[in-house]
Amino acid sequence: MSPFTLRKTDSRTLARRGELQTAHGTVQTPTFMPVGTQATVKAMTPADLEALDAEIILGNTYHLTLRPGIDIIAAAGGLHRFMGWNRAILTDSGGYQVFSLSPLRKVRPNGVEFQSHVDGQRLFLGPKEAMAIQRQLGSDVAMAFDECTAHPCGHDEARQSLDRTLRWAAVCRSQERAPGQLVFGIVQGAVFRDLRERAVAEIATMAFDGIAIGGVSVGETEEEMVRVLDWTGPVLPPALPHYLMGVGTPRQLVLGVCRGIDLFDCVLPTRVGRNGSAYTLGGALPVKAGRFKDDFAPIDPQCTCYACQHFTRAYIRHLLNVGEILGSHLMTVHNLHTYLDLMRRVRAHLDAGTFADFAEDFLARCAAPRAE
């Protein structure tokens, strides 16, 4: 039986309303997954995340292998017990680090040799190694090991990279997995339509439990990212959950939902929050800026999060400027609430059959980034 149930589709867009069954609960889709790279969502406790009703978060194979080490996590009983999180976890395979740590790695036919960014030691990750580590972590969703190319890259480089990703995907699909663990394949191909369509077609034949679009949010413009979604969205297997990796702003989440995406993750709400900016449904607000030093309004008067219900911009700005941890915490609470509440609104409009009008209005109010 498929772990994904498609409950409803929008008549005017490719948006979908669904449910993903995992070993640690049902995930309502579309949804946003907070990023917990190193077994924690920065500045948040598991109780904080539960209060926000986050149903699934992320961990990272590469980073957890380096610190604290897979043996320690396995001895603790797996990643859920180690970090005290009882809901679903998706683990990235380390493929993104092939891009982000490009000065510290060498791509081989059977995997990637990394030089640790922590202490310089060698770490080899290939499809077999990445799947074995994720099996020990015991994540609910394991990602196939892929190669994420930089932007820009030429067609020939992208094709060779895709060839590797597809070979590795076939190996990943055949590996042993943890009890109840789902495995998603990843579509690569840079900004080339023929490669993206080929990737979807070949990944779709491998009987994965879900399909992800990788290799976006790596330096391309929003217009280029949307173009990739316009190519891939209509040909993604409808029976599988669709995951857009590493995206994005609130505006980009709605653009993705319109193109058939069910799952999103991104470091922006936590990272931007710690650096002093708050997301609202009308855009970003630089709370750390001097003009808010005596502003006693909440971050967002329309927001129902704990930070907005109890504190002012002036107070939170003060915390940020004196380096108090509470400032980072409150900003992160607000930003994650904004993202998760946006997804709740999206699901409600899909249920009511009013999503297309909601999306049109939202995107009109939430302006596209200016070209530089």
Could you list the active site residues?
92, 265
Strands, DSSP E only, in 30-110?
A: 31-33, 56-60, 88-92, 105-108
Contacts of 372 (CB under 8 A, 6+ apart): none
Residue whose pair of structure tokens reads 């030089």 in the numeric block: 115
Quick one: 243 exposed, middle or buried, by C-beta within 10 A (0-12, 13-18, 19+)? Answer: buried
Token digits of residue 155:
């067609």
Please report which residue ranges of 79-184 form alpha helices under DSSP H.
Answer: 79-83, 95-100, 127-137, 155-173
State in Å, rounded, how far the first CA of the chain is from the last one: 48
Token digits of residue 358:
């909601």
Token digits of residue 209:
């439990």
- CB distance 112 to 101 below 8 Å: no
Tell me how far apart the alpha carbons of residues 262 and 279 are, in angstroms, rounded to a whole number.
21
For helices 155-173 and 193-204, angle between their N-to-C axes, nearest 10 degrees: 10
